[in-house]
Structure 1
Amino acid sequence: MTRARPVPRLIAAWLATRALMLWLLALNSRPLLGDGGVAREVWGLYQHWYGVLSDGGFPVHDPLWQYPPGAGPVLLSPGPLLGLLPGLTYFRAFVVLTLAADALITAALLRAGTAPARSRRGAAYWICGLPLLLHLPLARYDVQVTALAVLALLALTRSPRACGALAALGALVKVWPALVLLGVAKGRAARSAWPWAGATGAAALAVLALSFTHPLDFLRNQGGRGVQIESLGGTLLSLASHAGWPGTVRYRYGAMEFTGPYVSLVAGASLALTAVGLGLLLLWRARARRWTPATPYDAALSAVLLFTVTSRVISPQYLIWLLGLSAVCLTSRHTAQRPVAALIAAASALSSVIYPVCYDQVMAGTWPGTALLLLRNALLLAAAALAYARLWRTTRPAPHFPAPQRPPLTSATAR
């Protein structure tokens, strides 16, 4: 796909795979495809929030609202208020806009692959990797967030200012795109990208605060979240339930979470591990000495992986972020993250088996459901460790071996 006539083949692959995803979305009510639960997020929850946002305020005292204020314009865009797609229902307009964001990512990756020392493997990876999550990406707004992060990284070589601005806008929508700035090279690029990120974020937040009421109410709900059953901590609790742990699963904060003894301890441990991950990333940043063209991409993928595996929540749509960042890494021939991208693709395929195909087994905590969680999260944990190790190794100074010294020339050696 990346050799003879690559662009027409990749475009044809995008059309075919997206048609397949749309077909699966049309069959969303089938039991193996989620029994209607995948699409319900849009026409049930997002559309409800659209009504609240249309009245000029963010949801208040709504435990399901856990998103920064930048999510507001994204959720308003499919409705008639902004008039982007008149004549379509909210659900259909949302899917069309999601496909448009997906096409934008694909076009950006294709364009990046034409530069010297670049590759179209990134575009091929994104085109073939996203359908591994079945129709889920079309019913979540994470594709739009990923588009902002991908565009920010790809803009870095031409305009660090644009990189910073796009990363800040992405962070206002779903926080994690701020991590793409971690790998910006020290010096002029960092001095340009970071101030522009701060200025853009502050200006956009001010506009949202003036346009809507209660823009920071989401922070209250984030703090109350527990341990989702699909997280790393949730996998440990699922295993513990087979050894007699008496916890139960309940629907809380928009996810299935464990409740019972020691859950708060596991949640606290997850937060502590997130702090350790942040410390490791800051240590890398302080010790890094060599920057390749792929270092910002590799650092972004490593950072998001570390924050994902240590999170109290690993929703299946998180894999969309990792697929997008892996695709950006693969656009550069200098990347060290190729095996990490393979692990993420495998984890994405397993995530589709976990949700929606076998989610009943996962919620019930059966041995097959627990085994699927254990394998998927083991792949993500291995990917995070490998990504960080490769990032560390490629940015350390090359070892210096002094040239061997010749013995002094004497009269005896001369003869």
Structure 2
Amino acid sequence: MTTHRIGPPPPSFGLPPVPGITLLGTARSRIRPRRATALATVWAATRLGMLGLLLVDHVGDSGVAGEVYTLYRRWYEQLVHGAFPLDDVTWQYPPGAALVFLAPGALPWLTYFQAFVALTLAADAVITLALARAGLPGAWLWVCGLPLLLHLPYARYDVMVTAVAVLALLAVGKRPHIGGALAGLGAMIKVWPLLTVLGTPPGRTTRAAWFSATASVTALLTVLMLGFTHSLDFLRQQGARGVQIESLGGTALQLARTMGWPGTVRYQYGAFEFVGPYVSSIARLSLFLSIAAVCWLLLWRARSRRWTPATPFDAAFAAVLLFTVTSRVISPQYLVWLLGLAAVCLTSRHTTQRTAALLILPSAAVSALAYPVLYDDVLAGTPVGLLLMVVRNGLLLTAALLSCRRLWAATAAR
């Protein structure tokens, strides 16, 4: 399979509104041409660099791009025949993810890899354009933050998921039906975008957004279950996951190894996970902390009395941070989600999340060092690999605690 360079057309910041995008941004004046040109230039330059790294990574089935070459394409070949992957431990996604993996088939003149990258690049451009129309600080964080993950974002489908979530958040304030429908679509692709309706203000906005999200999930799930077999097999594979080496629990176990813990690392369920004594206890603790996060979010929702235009942004960012740090898995592509939500927060001058949002930038940079640059050190648990995980996860934990504290103080504290 051969690949060809895909050049990114710079998004048209400052030009007349794109149909449909005006519904998703705030009512801001047109960006000044000089600022628009600077943003577009940096976007084009950084994306060319990311594409260059992707193409020299490996023109084959290994490296960062290997997941698209082998795994995604294998799923595509099964999905086009109307069946979700059966007894495939690597298939751990809601049925709506099929839409993403099938989408490259709409560009038959390209190889699967080329089409996937082209669609991811288009999703990146949509995010940038929507953020630029909503508020330049957010657009700059996204444009400068995504390249910190090197070429990984273009070899995973998380940019497309993040595009749905960003559009949902930017729409939910003034167009709650649209925002809710997009949140439901995103939830069917990767669950977490449903959190974009968590912070909607009480009353008509919440009812409209939550009703639309429920209707969107129900309608899409019904269509997928009628059109495909084994639609809910992903639940069985997800439940079997262990403790990934890059998670907070994995970092604790890695530290325990330096003090004599006899566990080992094994590749299973599509990731490198720990095997040994107390691993199941760490996994249960992670699940308990995720449940505790749900309880805290419900308590925050019940106690909140003060709402600003930024509250939906801040709540979604805090919620995804909580579920990230309590997860048994913290893959580097999770930083794509956090960068997108942090960028949305910075589009509003009312946000309480500036410091937490900025902490995502060094977290992304350290994540890229951990994978793919020094992943062998992370696997082996060398001092360098251990330091990278402690710093990255420490930054994420700090951002999560700070985010929740600021959100509570601004909306729920008396």
Return the TM-score normalized by structure 1.
0.91
Task: Give the Å deviation of 1:245.
Answer: 0.5
Task: Give the Å deviation of 1:274.
Answer: 0.4
How far apart, in 1, do the equivalents of 2:65 and 2:325 lie?
26
Contact 2:186 2:193 in 1 (8 A): yes
Contact 1:180 1:296 in 2 (8 A): yes
How far apart, in 2, do the equivalents of 1:262 and 1:396 lie?
38
How far apart, in 2, do the equivalents of 1:373 and 1:293 lie?
35
How far apart, in 2, do the equivalents of 1:36 and 1:62 lie?
20
Residue 289 of structure 1 aligns to a residue whose secondary structure is: coil
How far apart, in 2, do the equivalents of 1:347 and 1:339 lie?
13
Instruction: Flag the structure with larger Rg.
Output: 1
Spell out, residue by residue over 1:273-311, the C-alpha distance to the aligned partner (whole angstroms, 9 max, x if none): 001111111111010000011000000000000000000
Contact 1:142 1:321 in 2 (8 A): yes
- The correspondence of residues 336-415 of structure 1 with structure 2, limited to 5 A, is 336-396=352-412
Structure 1 position 138 matched with structure 2 position 164: no
How far apart, in 2, do the equivalents of 1:52 and 1:213 lie?
11
How far apart, in 1, do the equivalents of 2:272 and 2:189 lie?
23
How far apart, in 2, do the equivalents of 1:35 and 1:254 lie?
15
Structure 1 position 72 matched with structure 2 position 94: no
Q: State which of 207, 217, 238 in structure 1 corresponds to 2:223.
A: 207
Q: State which of 47, 57, 75 in structure 2 corresponds to 1:28.
A: 57
Q: State which of 325, 332, 335 in structure 1 corresponds to 2:351.
A: 335
Contact 2:104 2:119 in 1 (8 A): yes
Q: Which residue of 2 aligns with 1:53?
A: 79
Q: State which of 111, 115, 120 in structure 2 corresponds to 1:98.
A: 120
How far apart, in 2, do the equivalents of 1:35 and 1:24 lie?
15
Structure 1 position 291 matched with structure 2 position 307: yes
Identity %: 63
Task: Give the Å deviation of 1:157.
Answer: 2.2
Structure 1 position 13 matched with structure 2 position 35: no
Residue 68 of structure 1 aligns to a residue whose secondary structure is: coil
Task: Give the Å deviation of 1:376.
Answer: 0.4
Contact 2:184 2:194 in 1 (8 A): yes
Q: Which residue of 1 aligns with 2:10?
A: none
Residue 265 of structure 2 aligns to a residue whose secondary structure is: strand
Q: Which residue of 2 aligns with 1:305?
A: 321
Q: CA RMSD in A?
A: 1.6
Q: Which residue of 2 aligns with 1:413?
A: none
Q: Which residue of 2 aligns with 1:314?
A: 330
Q: State which of 109, 112, 128 in structure 1 corresponds to 2:131.
A: 109
How far apart, in 1, do the equivalents of 2:296 and 2:61 lie?
41
Contact 1:298 1:329 in 2 (8 A): yes
Contact 2:180 2:197 in 1 (8 A): yes
Count of aligned residue pairs for this structure pair: 385
How far apart, in 2, do the equivalents of 1:273 and 1:191 lie?
29
Letter in 2 for 1:175: V
Task: Give the Å deviation of 1:35.
Answer: 10
Greater mean alpha carbon deviation, residues 155-164 or residues 231-240: 155-164
Listed as ranges, the gaps of 5+ residues in structure 2 are 1-30
Q: Which residue of 1 aligns with 2:6?
A: none
Contact 1:28 1:35 in 2 (8 A): no
Spell out, residue by residue over 1:255-283, the C-alpha distance to the aligned partner (whole angstroms, 9 max, x if none): 10000111000000000000111111111
Task: Give the Å deviation of 1:3.
Answer: 8.0
Letter in 1 for 2:56: L
Q: State which of 110, 123, 132 in structure 2 corresponds to 1:88.
A: 110
Q: State which of 183, 198, 205 in structure 2 corresponds to 1:167.
A: 183
